[in-house]
Amino acid sequence: MITFKRLDIRPLMARGEEPLTRIRAALARLPAEQGLALVTPFLPAPLIEMLAGEGYQSRVEPAGGGDWVVYFRRSDT
């Protein structure tokens, strides 16, 4: 069973910081049986496409108030 580690990038984005480095670092640290639950203030379609090309599956859920949760996991798990 896959468990998901949560990463909320809304505070980073509110400060004007680019979150991609932190997202990549979080993904790199995950063990094979864990995925990443990314909380974002918008639907990050370009990120979803980019990570799909790198072997990640995703599932999206609206979180209310315009926010989204995107669940990423490696395709081979």
Mean pLDDT of 44-67: 96
pLDDT digits (tens, 9 = 90+) for 10-29: 999 999 999 999 999 999 99
Nearest 10 degrees: CA dihedral of 47, 17, 35, 56?
20
Confidence of residue 77 (pLDDT cuts 50, 70, 90): low
- Per-residue pLDDT at 29: 95
Q: Is residue 74 scored above 80 in pLDDT?
A: yes
Confidence of residue 54 (pLDDT cuts 50, 70, 90): very high
Kind and range of the H or E run holding 75? none
Residue found under tokens 């993904």 = 27
